[in-house]
Amino acid sequence: MQLFWLSFGFGLVTASVLAIAAVGLSLQFGITNYINFAYGDFMALGAFITYVLNNEVLHLNIWLALVGGSLAIGVVAVILNRLILSPFARRFNKTFYVLIVTFGLSLILLNLMYSIWGADVRFYQMPLARSMHIGPMLLTKYQLIVMAIAVLLMYGVHMMLTKTRLGKSMRAMSDNATLAMTSGIDTKRITTITWFTSGVLAGLAGTVLGITEGNLTPASGELFLFVIFAAVITGGVGSIYGAMAGAVLIGLATEVSAAFINPAYKLDTAFVILILTLLLRPSGLFTRSGRRA
């Protein structure tokens, strides 16, 4: 039982990382209607820019570096969308072309990172932290901070979507892009802002992944991508709140499973849950049938 609570605690940490990543992916998917397969690489790139700010260039404190890394990916995302993704998406009427382009972008980014930083494992400059007892769970202060960041972000995204005009425009575009356009919503501006947000969240998620895992390599993001997909699909594709719920489910499930099976396969548990969802309730576990939040 002790083991269960320990795993549960770690599960909350993983869920936090996943939630940030999954929401970023969902926001972008809602607006553009295609999945960005380079998302994992956005995450890794964010982690590496943070690394550079933390370890090499300015020797910033990890949290400040984190901000820098996240914002940088926001900008990168907007640029890549303007230069590459958006033109391809407009030109071809079948989604699979732009999906291949994102897949190609993933390859390019990954190898770019390998070229610059090599395949070696890197570590952030962070003072060592001891694990603290939080009830039956054992967590470091970094893990707690990451969880806090995740909760704040979820709340922030929720507020933005429901209370601000920007958020309502995003939801409108997500439901029906043509209608949104004719209703006077500046879809181009909203798209840019969404990509920026998605990029920031990706960079943030990649960095906290590096913090919680304790190390980073250029491929870290890609290898984690399928877990994010699992969270998004089990939660219900296209639903932001579904993504959050899916993140919690997958995060907890993968860590708790590590208590029972060989921990090397804990991430694969996410895949099993994904398959089960597809077989039993393909529209997602947290959405009403056929509805998109």
- C-alpha span between 110 and 102 (Å, rounded): 12
**Residue 8 sits in the site that holds other proteins (CB under 8 A):** no
- C-alpha span between 118 and 218 (Å, rounded): 8
Helices (H), 238-290: 240-258, 266-280
Residue 160: CB minimum distance to other proteins, A: 23
- Nearer Cβ to other proteins (1/119): 119
Among 58, 100, 129, 152, binds other proteins (CB under 8 A): 100
**Residue 182 sits in the site that holds other proteins (CB under 8 A):** no
Count of residues that interact with other proteins, criterion CB under 8 A: 51
**Residue 106 sits in the site that holds other proteins (CB under 8 A):** yes
Residues within window 130-159 making contact with other proteins, judged by CB under 8 A: none
What's the burial of 251, exposed, middle or buried (CB within 10 Å: 0-12/13-18/19+)? buried
**Residue 137 φ then ψ, to 5°:** -100, 160
Taking CB under 8 A as the binding criterion, the range among 5-13, 141-149, 244-252, 257-265 that sits at the site for other proteins is: 257-265
Those residues whose C-beta lies under 8 Å from the C-beta of residue 84, and which sit 6 or more positions away, are 101, 105
CA distances in angstroms from 106 to 70, 86, 219, 244, 274, listed in the order given = 18, 16, 10, 24, 23
**Residue 42 sits in the site that holds other proteins (CB under 8 A):** no
Residue 226: CB minimum distance to other proteins, A: 4
**Residue 114 sits in the site that holds other proteins (CB under 8 A):** yes
Q: Which residues, in sequence order, are bridge partners of residue 137?
A: 134
Site residues (vs other proteins, CB under 8 A):
34-35, 37, 84, 87-88, 91-97, 99-101, 103-108, 110-112, 114-115, 118-119, 222-223, 225-226, 229-230, 232-233, 237, 262, 264-265, 267-268, 271, 274-275, 278-279, 282, 290-291
